[in-house]
């Protein structure tokens, strides 16, 4: 037995060794357009870099006898220009110059612009005002006109064109970076750094810069193409590269004079500009998608409005399939996350049922799959990577996994509503809470403004918010945590739900407020006969509100039964351990045991009982096969081969 315990971690490590998440580069190649851009760009850059090594003619050697030779003529693959110079050689040398100038201008603009943005955003106040008005001043001139004016002052020439292009692009970076920095500079981790005695330079360099760097890279990658184009534009007008030096813009300008007699002279550099800018922009867009942290986790797709459901999902046929009086009847629900090549079985066959007016407590350690279960019920798990692979969710008589999108939308927030853990994250920060409750009502009921207002006040009174007339004008940040959670509950009650799913609604609250919110929810379900699925990790909370409990471990229910019976005499050792984690008033000498070990990773579940590795009662038969739910004592069911009897001590039995 101990051998298996040792063998399984090494296997787990082996599976960890293979890449779990596609690398940024793999994601980039996944994007076909970006991959195309990359290939083209690599070819162009490689040939430009290799120009000195290639057997090319001197790009500036004129040969008047051989002027305007067409492409594919003897010794000149792309022909010659009006002075008889080899086009291929000029093209590659010219591309070299254009790329170098465009890239240098971008880097200079990115550096100067980001520096201005960081300083303005972090310093704020007068520095910010001064710098940004200066930037505004630059932005008030048409872009290319400003570049022309700068070259006119500095004098024509490649280097001066580079400066001009860099300068006119500075505001672009400065504005972007300043905006992000302003938001970051007021965040708590920056305050913490300041309080720990770090100076402004170190804070900007070590706290803020790493956060804005991805944006700088993204902005840079999407602007390089434009800058090459602008440099070419200045050269085309004769203000950039000076003869005889070739760059793409000046070649285009020279070709213009013979555009009708020998169009290829302008076509060749024109095509090259097109290729370079197109490939850089495609690649830049791809890089932006990959670097966006929200897109890193999954495929490069937006989550759909509803969790994907496998077409031929299966569900267990149970004996009492004649629909009971349950509001919600979940059978064999399975939800997986597919990330790279690994499959996370977050919910692995869950059965639940709740009757009207009943409160079912769903309890388990963090990560046991409670939230994913709750969100799967109305298809709120993001897809990709989430996917419902099995089961049935009977709400009254409809299978929620099979109803149309329209029906599902009508149910969400209507007959089935949610209360989440952190109301500050779920409420909109910029609207008064009264308007947000009204919006929840009017999404489902055609009420006019005054009717909605009356209903809002009524709901706020129901959730015992004092002075609702004044409070409905308040913004979320002006309310205390307890009041905010009451607002979320009012929103959940707005359309007379038959089922409320409350996902750790009191975890963010202190104990007194928690008690008030629990009392409120309890009273409401008794008055209205609403069914409640109450999710928590705390047996203390469950004992106050739930009629029945379902204990969840590693994505499966391991024990269910009436709360009082389970609390008094749990059958599953895991339940016993969870109960033993709760302190009891007046019993200071009681041992509070943390549960040793950790839950198994859901992408690598062991065979048999998932709890066996942490269980003092585990025997050899616990480690193989599927362990089914069994009736233990009348009303308690548990997924355990060696359940506890009333009075059994957990550790003595090991
Ligand atoms: P809890 O019981 O604390 O509510 P959850 O239901 O949130 O736990 O999570 C269950 C498991 O599913 C965890 O192992 C978690 O890592 C995984 N999981 C949850 N959401 C996602 C997601 N969007 N992508 C990948 N894995 C997820
Ligand atoms: Mg959760």
Q: Does some domain include residue 260? A: yes
- Residue carrying structure tokens 């709400």: 395
Question: How many structural domains compose the chain?
Answer: 1
Beta bridge partners of 353: 329
- What value does the mean pLDDT of the chain take? 86
Predicted confidence (pLDDT) at residue 18 exceeds the cutoff of 50: no
Contact between residue 352 and residue 501 where contact means Cβ atoms under 8 Å apart? no
Residue with CA at minimum distance from ligand 1 atom 18? 346
Which ligand minimizes its atom distance to the CA of 365? 1
Q: Does some domain include residue 576? A: no
Closest by CA position to 148, among listed 234, 39, 218: 234
Residue with CA at minimum distance from ligand 1 atom 26? 337
Predicted confidence (pLDDT) at residue 588 exceeds the cutoff of 80: no
Residue range(s) defining the domain that contains residue 113: 25-53+74-295
- Banded model confidence at residue 302, pLDDT cuts 50, 70, 90: low
Torsion angle in degrees (nearest 10) through CA of 507, 510, 516, 522: 20
**Segment 79-115, tens digit of pLDDT:** 888 888 999 999 999 999 999 999 999 999 999 999 9
Question: Is residue 371 in contact with ligand 1, taking CB distance under 6 Å?
Answer: yes
The whole-angstrom separation of Cα 363 and Cα 579 is: 11
**Segment 431-472, tens digit of pLDDT:** 999 999 999 999 888 888 899 999 999 999 888 888 999 999
Ligand 2: distance of its center to the CA of 369 in Å?
Answer: 7
CATH code: domain of residue 83: 1.10.3720.10
Q: Does some domain include residue 6? A: no
Ligand 1: distance of its center to the CA of 120 in Å?
Answer: 40
Which ligand minimizes its atom distance to the CA of 303? 1
The predicted structure's pLDDT at residue 339: 76
Q: Is the backbone of residue 546 left (phi > 0), alpha (psi -120 to 50) or beta?
A: beta
Question: Is residue 346 in contact with ligand 1, taking CB distance under 6 Å?
Answer: yes
Ligand 2: distance of its center to the CA of 352 in Å?
Answer: 17
Secondary structure letter of residue 476 according to DSSP? G
**Segment 379-426, tens digit of pLDDT:** 888 887 888 998 889 998 888 888 888 888 888 888 999 998 877 778
The whole-angstrom separation of Cα 327 and Cα 605 is: 32
The predicted structure's pLDDT at residue 597: 79
The predicted structure's pLDDT at residue 423: 75
From the centroid of its chain, how far is CA 597? 30
Total Cβ atoms within 10 A of residue 63: 14
Q: Which tokens in the block code for residue 234?
A: 């200045």
The predicted structure's pLDDT at residue 320: 52
Q: Does some domain include residue 195? A: yes
The predicted structure's pLDDT at residue 311: 83
Question: Is residue 367 in contact with ligand 1, taking CB distance under 6 Å?
Answer: yes
Q: Relative to the CA of 374, which ligand 1 atom is closest?
A: 6
Q: Does some domain include residue 648? A: no
Q: Could you give the percent of the chain with pLDDT greater than 90? A: 36
Contact between residue 371 and residue 555 where contact means Cβ atoms under 8 Å apart? no
Ligand 1: distance of its center to the CA of 372 in Å?
Answer: 6
Residue with CA at minimum distance from ligand 1 atom 1? 367
Residue with CA at minimum distance from ligand 1 atom 27? 337
Closest by CA position to 561, among listed 551, 574, 576: 551
Sign of CA dihedral 225, 228, 230, 236: negative
Under 8 Å CB-to-CB from 113, ≥6 apart: which residues?
169, 170, 171, 172, 173, 174, 176, 177
Total Cβ atoms within 10 A of residue 357: 15
From the centroid of its chain, how far is CA 582? 34
Ligand 1: distance of its center to the CA of 313 in Å?
Answer: 21
The whole-angstrom separation of Cα 283 and Cα 281 is: 5
Which ligand minimizes its atom distance to the CA of 362? 1
Closest by CA position to 574, among listed 548, 543, 595, 601: 595
> CA 108, 113, 114 angle in degrees (round to 5)?
105
Q: Does some domain include residue 220? A: yes
Which ligand minimizes its atom distance to the CA of 370? 1
Residue with CA at minimum distance from ligand 1 atom 25? 337
The whole-angstrom separation of Cα 413 and Cα 239 is: 64
Reduced to 3 states (helix: H, G, I; strand: E, B; else coil), residue 641 is coil
Contact between residue 99 and residue 273 where contact means Cβ atoms under 8 Å apart? no
Q: If you average pLDDT over residues 521-546, what whole number do you get?
A: 89
The whole-angstrom separation of Cα 599 and Cα 349 is: 17
Closest by CA position to 91, among listed 75, 113, 107, 76: 76
The predicted structure's pLDDT at residue 653: 41
- Banded model confidence at residue 293, pLDDT cuts 50, 70, 90: low
Question: 3-state secondary structure string, 521-568?
Answer: HHHHHHHHCCEEEEEECCHHHHHHHCCEEEEEECCEEEEEEEHHHHHH
Secondary structure letter of residue 347 according to DSSP? E
The predicted structure's pLDDT at residue 65: 86
Question: Is residue 344 in contact with ligand 1, taking CB distance under 6 Å?
Answer: yes
Predicted confidence (pLDDT) at residue 3 exceeds the cutoff of 60: no
Q: Which tokens in the block code for residue 638?
A: 């548990």
The whole-angstrom separation of Cα 378 and Cα 487 is: 22
Q: Does some domain include residue 88? A: yes
Q: Which tokens in the block code for residue 440?
A: 């929840």
| Substitution candidate for ligand 1 out of 307, 361, 372 with most atoms within 8 A of CB | 372
Ligand 1: distance of its center to the CA of 370 in Å?
Answer: 8
The predicted structure's pLDDT at residue 108: 96
Q: Which tokens in the block code for residue 20?
A: 């779990």
Report which of residues 279 and 340 the model is more confident about. 279
Q: Could you give the percent of the chain with pLDDT greater than 70? A: 92
Beta bridge partners of 387: 308, 336
Under 8 Å CB-to-CB from 229, ≥6 apart: which residues?
102, 273, 277
Ligand 1: distance of its center to the CA of 376 in Å?
Answer: 11
Predicted confidence (pLDDT) at residue 321 exceeds the cutoff of 70: no
Residue with CA at minimum distance from ligand 1 atom 6? 369
Question: Is residue 337 in contact with ligand 1, taking CB distance under 6 Å?
Answer: yes
The predicted structure's pLDDT at residue 591: 66
Question: Is residue 382 in contact with ligand 1, taking CB distance under 6 Å?
Answer: yes
**C-alpha distances in Å from residue 138, one per residue of 168, 338, 414:** 7, 49, 53
Total Cβ atoms within 10 A of residue 226: 19
The whole-angstrom separation of Cα 609 and Cα 641 is: 9
The whole-angstrom separation of Cα 229 and Cα 261 is: 26
Predicted confidence (pLDDT) at residue 331 exceeds the cutoff of 70: yes
Helix H or strand E segment including 638:
strand 636-638
Under 8 Å CB-to-CB from 86, ≥6 apart: which residues?
56, 57, 58, 59, 61, 75, 76, 78, 80
Which ligand minimizes its atom distance to the CA of 367? 1
Q: Which tokens in the block code for residue 7?
A: 């063998």
Predicted confidence (pLDDT) at residue 14 exceeds the cutoff of 50: no
The whole-angstrom separation of Cα 463 and Cα 522 is: 11
Closest by CA position to 363, among listed 558, 626, 600: 558
Question: Is residue 372 in contact with ligand 1, taking CB distance under 6 Å?
Answer: yes
Q: Which tokens in the block code for residue 200?
A: 């402004």
Question: Is residue 303 in contact with ligand 1, taking CB distance under 6 Å?
Answer: no
> CA 127, 133, 134 angle in degrees (round to 5)?
90
| Substitution candidate for ligand 1 out of 344, 504, 538 with most atoms within 8 A of CB | 344
What is the pairing mode between strands 531-536 and 308-314?
Answer: unpaired
Which ligand minimizes its atom distance to the CA of 551? 1
Predicted confidence (pLDDT) at residue 647 exceeds the cutoff of 90: no
Q: If you average pLDDT over residues 615-641, what whole number do you get?
A: 87
Q: Relative to the CA of 372, which ligand 1 atom is closest?
A: 6
Residue with CA at minimum distance from ligand 1 atom 13? 367
Question: Is residue 368 in contact with ligand 1, taking CB distance under 6 Å?
Answer: yes
Ligand 1: distance of its center to the CA of 543 in Å?
Answer: 25
Which ligand minimizes its atom distance to the CA of 373? 1
Q: DSSP letters of 382-444?
A: -TTTEEEEEEEEEETTEETTTS-HHHHHHHBTTTEEEE-S-HHHHS-TTS-HHHHHHHHHHTT
Which ligand minimizes its atom distance to the CA of 554? 1
Q: Does some domain include residue 285? A: yes
Contact between residue 394 and residue 518 where contact means Cβ atoms under 8 Å apart? no
The predicted structure's pLDDT at residue 12: 43
Reduced to 3 states (helix: H, G, I; strand: E, B; else coil), residue 56 is coil
Ligand 1: distance of its center to the CA of 423 in Å?
Answer: 20
Question: Is residue 556 in contact with ligand 1, taking CB distance under 6 Å?
Answer: no
Question: Is residue 286 in contact with ligand 1, taking CB distance under 6 Å?
Answer: no
Ligand 1: distance of its center to the CA of 346 in Å?
Answer: 6
Ligand 2: distance of its center to the CA of 99 in Å?
Answer: 51
| Substitution candidate for ligand 1 out of 371, 387, 508, 538 with most atoms within 8 A of CB | 371
The predicted structure's pLDDT at residue 22: 64
Backbone angles phi, psi at 186, to 5 degrees: -105, 10
Contact between residue 33 and residue 285 where contact means Cβ atoms under 8 Å apart? yes
Ligand 2: distance of its center to the CA of 363 in Å?
Answer: 10
Ligand 1: distance of its center to the CA of 554 in Å?
Answer: 10
Question: Is residue 370 in contact with ligand 1, taking CB distance under 6 Å?
Answer: yes
Ligand 2: distance of its center to the CA of 534 in Å?
Answer: 11
Lowest mean pLDDT among 123-127, 256-260, 478-482, 511-515: 511-515
Torsion angle in degrees (nearest 10) through CA of 95, 97, 98, 99: 80
The whole-angstrom separation of Cα 653 and Cα 485 is: 43
Which ligand minimizes its atom distance to the CA of 366? 1
Residue with CA at minimum distance from ligand 1 atom 7? 371
């Amino acid at each position: 037995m101990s051998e298996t315990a040792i063998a399984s971690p090494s296997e787990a490590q082996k599976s960890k060794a293979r890449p779990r998440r596609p690398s940024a580069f793999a994601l980039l190649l996944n994007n076909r357009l970006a991959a195309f851009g990359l290939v083209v760009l690599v070819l162009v850059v490689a040939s430009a870099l290799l120009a000195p090594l290639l057997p090319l003619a001197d790009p500036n050697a004129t040969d008047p006898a051989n002027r305007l030779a067409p492409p594919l003529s003897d010794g000149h693959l792309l022909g010659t220009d009006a002075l008889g110079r080899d086009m291929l050689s000029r093209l590659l040398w010219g591309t070299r110059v254009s790329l170098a100038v465009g890239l240098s201008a971008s880097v200079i603009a990115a550096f100067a612009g980001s520096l201005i943005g960081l300083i303005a955003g972090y310093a704020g106040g007068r520095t910010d005002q001064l710098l940004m008005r200066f930037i505004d001043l630059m932005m008030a001139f048409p872009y290319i006109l400003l570049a022309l004016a700068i070259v006119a002052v500095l004098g024509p020439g490649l280097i001066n064109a580079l400066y001009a292009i860099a300068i006119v692009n500075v505001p672009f970076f400065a504005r972007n970076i300043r905006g992000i920095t302003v938001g970051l500079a007021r965040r708590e981790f920056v305050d913490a750094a300041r309080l720990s005695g770090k100076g402004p330079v170190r804070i900007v360099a070590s706290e803020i810069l790493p956060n804005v760097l991805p944006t700088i890279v993204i902005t840079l990658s999407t602007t390089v193409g434009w800058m090459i184009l602008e440099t070419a534009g200045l050269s085309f007008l004769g203000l950039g590269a000076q003869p005889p030096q070739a760059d793409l813009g000046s070649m285009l300008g020279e070709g213009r004079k013979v555009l009708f007699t020998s169009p290829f002279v302008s076509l060749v550099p024109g095509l090259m500009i097109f290729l370079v800018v197109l490939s850089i922009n495609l690649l830049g867009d791809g890089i932006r998608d990959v670097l966006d942290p929200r897109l890193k986790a999954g495929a490069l797709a937006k989550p759909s409005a509803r969790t994907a459901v496998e077409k031929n999902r299966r569900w267990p046929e149970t004996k009492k399939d004649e629909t009971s009086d349950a509001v919600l009847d979940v059978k064999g629900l399975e939800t997986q996350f597919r990330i790279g090549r690994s499959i996370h079985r977050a919910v692995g066959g869950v059965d639940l049922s709740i009757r009207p007016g009943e409160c079912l407590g769903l309890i388990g350690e963090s990560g046991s799959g409670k939230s994913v279960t709750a969100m799967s019920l109305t298809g709120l798990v993001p897809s990709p990577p989430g996917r419902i692979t099995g089961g049935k969710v009977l709400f009254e008589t409809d299978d929620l996994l099979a109803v149309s999108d329209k029906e599902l939308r009508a149910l969400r927030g209507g007959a089935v509503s949610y209360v989440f853990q952190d109301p500050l994250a779920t409420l909109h920060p910029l609207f008064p809470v009264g308007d947000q409750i009204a919006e929840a009502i009017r999404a489902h009921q055609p009420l006019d403004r005054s009717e909605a207002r009356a209903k809002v006040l009524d709901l706020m009174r129901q959730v015992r918010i004092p002075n609702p007339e004044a409070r409905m004008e308040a913004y979320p940040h002006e309310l205390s945590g307890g009041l905010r959670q009451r607002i979320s509950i009012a929103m959940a009650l707005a359309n007379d739900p038959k089922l409320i799913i409350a996902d750790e609604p009191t975890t963010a609250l202190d104990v007194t407020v928690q008690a008030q919110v629990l009392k409120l929810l309890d009273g409401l379900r008794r008055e209205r006969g609403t069914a409640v699925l109450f999710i928590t990790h705390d047996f203390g909370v469950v004992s106050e509100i739930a009629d029945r409990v379902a204990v969840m471990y590693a994505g499966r229910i391991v024990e269910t039964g009436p709360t009082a019976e389970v609390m008094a005499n749990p059958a599953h050792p895991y339940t016993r351990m969870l109960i033993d984690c709760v302190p009891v008033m007046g019993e200071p000498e009681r041992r509070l045991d943390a549960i040793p070990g950790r839950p198994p990773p859901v992408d690598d579940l062991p065979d048999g009982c998932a709890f066996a590795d942490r269980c003092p009662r585990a025997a050899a038969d616990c480690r193989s096969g599927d362990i089914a739910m069994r009736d233990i004592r009348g009303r308690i069911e548990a997924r355990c081969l060696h359940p506890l009897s009333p009075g059994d001590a957990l550790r003595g039995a090991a």
